[in-house]
Amino acid sequence: MKTTVKIHVPPSQQVMRNRTYNRQMRNLYYEKSNYQFRKIKKVVDSEEPPSEEKLLSELYEFEEYLNVCLSYAKSAVSSSKYEKIEHYSQDHRWGILQEEVVLVYFLEEQISSVKYIISHLETNRRIQAFANESKTDVVVHHLLSNIDELNLETEDDLRYFYDNIEKRYGIGNNLFGILQELQNFQ
């Protein structure tokens, strides 16, 4: 009969191992989300307008990457509700960098922008489906003409959001670069 020896790992080491894993996964999903956004931006900036179906599926994937990245980023910052992790200024070995906290806020803002774009595209699609069902209705015809005018203006708004996300990624990439450099020294 074999006996197994159970090795006790102190909770602080477990938390730090989890924190390292969470940071690595956050880094991976940040890069995936950045790549996915560049893919979307290329499609949006192309001469031929993308189909809403294709664009929506790409946006949903982008949102998913951002959500997973945010989840790991939050876990890397909070790690455990039982152990309080000090800031890097107080604990140079395992402390939380301020940039890690800022990255969490950055990701939340990116998700908010993507949700707005998705919501707008979904709403347009539903209104078009409703209009196609009852084309002969006078009220629907009037509603559609107003929506077409609105869509001309919102196309500029959506471009603004895409450009804003792109600019934010420029800032986020700098922040992310600093994080990776500092984490390599730890």
On whether the CB atoms of residues 99 and 29 are closer than 8 A, the answer is: no
Contacts of 94 (CB under 8 A, 6+ apart): 16, 19, 85, 86, 186
Is there a domain that residue 1 lies in? no
Is there a domain that residue 7 lies in? no
Q: Would you mind telling me the total number of residues written for the chain in this entry?
A: 186
Is there a domain that residue 4 lies in? no
HEC string of 130-182?
A: HHHHCCCCHHHHHHHHHHHHHHHHHHHHHHHHHHHHHHHHHHHHHHHHHHHHH
Is there a domain that residue 114 lies in? yes
Domain count, the chain: 1
Is there a domain that residue 141 lies in? yes
Is there a domain that residue 142 lies in? yes
Structural domain range at position 18:
12-83+93-185
Question: Which pLDDT score, from 0 to 100, does residue 162 have?
Answer: 87
Model confidence pLDDT, tens digit, residues 126-151: 877 777 776 666 666 666 666 666 66
* pLDDT-based confidence at residue 10 (cuts at 50, 70, 90): very low
Mean pLDDT computed over 77-89: 58
Total-model pTM: 0.77
- Token pair for 40: 């979307």
Is there a domain that residue 88 lies in? no
CA distance 58 to 162: 13
Percent share of the chain, pLDDT over 90:
22
Mean pLDDT computed over 12-20: 62
Question: Which pLDDT score, from 0 to 100, does residue 12 have?
Answer: 47
Q: Is the pLDDT of residue 1 over 90?
A: no
CA distance 41 to 44: 5
Mean pLDDT computed over 7-26: 66
**Structure-token match 């077409």, residue found:** 148
CA distance 101 to 73: 8
Q: Name the more confident of 104 and 149.
A: 104
Which of these ranges, 22-26, 29-33, 132-136, has the smallest mean pLDDT?
A: 132-136
State CA 94 to chain mean position distance: 26
Which candidate, 92, 70, 66, 73, places its Cα nearest to that of 182? 92
Q: Is the pLDDT of residue 63 over 90?
A: yes
Is there a domain that residue 132 lies in? yes
Q: Hey, which of 55-59, 91-95, 101-105, 156-160 has the most confident mean pLDDT?
A: 55-59
Q: How many CB atoms lie within 10 A of CB 69?
A: 25
